[in-house]
Amino acid sequence: MTEAPDGVVKRSVTIAGHRTSVSLEGPFWSALGRIAKARGLSVQALVAEIDGSRGRNNLSSAIRVYVLETVSRSGGG
**pLDDT tens-digit series, residues 9-32:** 999 999 989 999 999 999 999 999
In this structure, CATH architecture of domain 2-74: Orthogonal Bundle (1.10)
59 Cβ contact partners less than 8 Å away, ≥ 6 residues apart: 20, 22, 47, 50, 51
Give the distance from CA 56 to its chain's centroid.
Answer: 16
pTM of the predicted model, to two decimals?
0.86
Give the residues across from 23 on adjacent strands: 10
Q: What is the dihedral of CA 28, 37, 76, 71, to 10 degrees?
A: 60
Q: Is the pLDDT confidence value at 5 over 90?
A: no
